[in-house]
Amino acid sequence: MSTEKNVKVIAGTDFHGSKGALKAFARNIRQYEVDLAVICGDITNFGTVEQAKNLLVETLTEVNVPIIFIPGNCDPPSLTDLQIKGLTCIHGEIFLHDNLAFIGLGGSTISPFNTFFEMNEEEITGILNRCVENLNRLTRKPNVILISHSPPKNTKLDKTFSGAHVGSISVRRFIEENKPILVFCGHIHEARGIDYIGNSVIVNPGPAKQGNYALATIEGDKVKIDLK
């Protein structure tokens, strides 16, 4: 019988500057008594770091739950340097919580729209490889959860209205090789849902600006997802 306690995580993505959506996210953090909250990018809608800071401070600093976040492609890359008590940007970093290691990947793949924070696949691979190197230095081996604004390529979660799959090949390769128990992503608003790569559970909560979010209950390497 497992002695590991359940960890409850709430995830939201694609707020696009909506203070109302962030306030609703804060209410849900309290209502569900989660252990950790995750923001998967696009906090602003092509806003400044100062606008992002104001949004986060005004809505989330009183929830008394650790919050980790990554910038999306509609956020300025310098959001990675933002320092707010209780909130941690994990782009290119590992965040440890209980027996879980959260790896963060902000921005998106190159798009036709020349948005704020885009990277080519080689850059994405480099960031993820450095995270894996740091993960391998840990004395204990936690279960891995990837937080990526870009979804993995060729899934239900990277398919646009036109039918094109626009996710990241590098993110997919990382999942196939490192087998995280859970992946939270966003970016493709119309692709809200759950998919799988091997045994890895991949979740796009859907845009928070439209009231969407996801709850994950994690016990050991078992993951239960509720899309809300």
Confidence of residue 192 (pLDDT cuts 50, 70, 90): very high
Q: What percent of the chain has pLDDT over 70?
A: 98
Query: What pLDDT does 3 receive?
Result: 53
* pLDDT tens figures, 193-206: 999 999 999 999 99
Question: φ, ψ for residue 119 (rounded to 5)?
Answer: -135, 150
What is the spatial distance between Cα 81 and Cα 107, in angstroms, rounded to a whole number? 14
Give the number of domains in the chain. Answer: 1
**How many helical (H) and strand (E) elements, i.e. helices and strands, does the chain have?**
4, 14
* pLDDT tens figures, 71-102: 999 999 999 999 999 999 999 999 999 999 99
- In CATH, what number is assigned to the domain containing residue 64? 3.60.21.10
Q: Where are the alpha helices (DSSP H) in 89-215?
A: 121-136, 169-178
Q: Residue 163 belongs to what H/E stretch?
A: none
Domain-located, residue 2 = no
Query: What pLDDT does 5 receive?
Result: 82
Question: φ, ψ for residue 40 (rounded to 5)?
Answer: -95, 25
Domain-located, residue 83 = yes
Query: What pLDDT does 4 receive?
Result: 67
pLDDT tops 70 at residue 59: yes
Domain-located, residue 169 = yes
Q: What percent of the chain has pLDDT over 90?
A: 97
Contact (Cβ atoms closer than 8 angstroms) between residue 181 and residue 203: no
Confidence of residue 1 (pLDDT cuts 50, 70, 90): very low
Confidence of residue 24 (pLDDT cuts 50, 70, 90): very high
Coil/strand/helix, residue 191:
helix
User: Which residues span the domain enclosing 107?
Assistant: 7-227
